[in-house]
Amino acid sequence: MDKSHLILHGLAIKKHAGAGDIAGLIGLTEADARSGLDHAVASGRAHEADGRFILTPLARVILEAEYSDHYADARDDTAFMDAYEAFEVINVQLKSIITDWQTMEVGGQRVANDHSNHDHDNKVIDRLGDCHERAGAIFARLEKGVPRLGYYRRKLLEALEKAEDGAIEWVSDARIESYHTLWFELHEDLLRIVGRTRQE
């Protein structure tokens, strides 16, 4: 696939990122990602500040116009599209798990989870592990259609294992590549591949 498209796509997923942040996602070395980002800046498709990059409005338009060509095969692949639909089903389950991680019921009311109830948190992490296991076959089918998506499978497992080992910030902390952060990015990636928009 065209490197310039991958660079713009990586920035669209990661939003505000450095070369190292998008290299694995788009299947390039960090050096190649940096070279592509520098070219994007020179061509008016990205802005740089302190080593981090964002897309320009022009780049967003260009990127959206390219998806149908770059992912025509995936969109025509019944197995891939079936895997995407299966992902959407399990995505609903993941949302429920994250809601129960971020909030909990106290006296019939939903309140923010301060994570002082370790039993509650451990049960939610167990559910997250079960969800990840159920999603494994879906990840494999998606990766078969678009190999670079294997990045998410590997990174999601890393985040889950850290959370299971007691580093609970790896469940949903938006400041790191937590499980929820990575899942959200995978969903965004898939929506762009198949040409759909996120339903809130």
**CA 129 to chain CA centroid, nearest Å:** 17
> pLDDT higher for 100 or 107?
100
- Considering the domain architecture, whether residues 91 and 189 belong to the same structural domain is answered as yes
Per-residue pLDDT of 73-94, as tens digits, reads: 999 999 999 999 999 999 999 9
Q: How confident is the model at residue 197 (pLDDT cuts 50, 70, 90)?
A: confident
Which pLDDT belongs to residue 200?
55
35, 57: one domain? yes
Considering the domain architecture, whether residues 30 and 129 belong to the same structural domain is answered as no
Model confidence pLDDT, tens digit, residues 102-155: 999 888 889 999 999 999 999 999 999 999 999 999 999 999 999 999 999 999
Residue 199 has pLDDT above 90, yes or no: no
- The last residue of one of the domains, among 37, 70, 103, is 70
Is residue 109 located within the same domain as residue 141?
Answer: yes
Q: Long-range contact list for 23-29, CB < 8 A, 24+ apart?
A: 24/151, 24/155, 25/148, 25/151, 25/185, 25/189, 26/148, 27/147, 27/148, 27/151, 28/3
User: Does residue 49 lie in a domain region?
Assistant: yes
Residue 157 lies in a domain: yes
Would you say residue 199 lies in a domain?
A: no
Q: DSSP strand E in 78-155: where?
A: 103-106, 109-112
Instruction: Report the alpha-carbon distance of residue 145 to residue 194 in Å, rounded.
Output: 12
Which structural domain, as residue segments, surrounds residue 23? 3-70
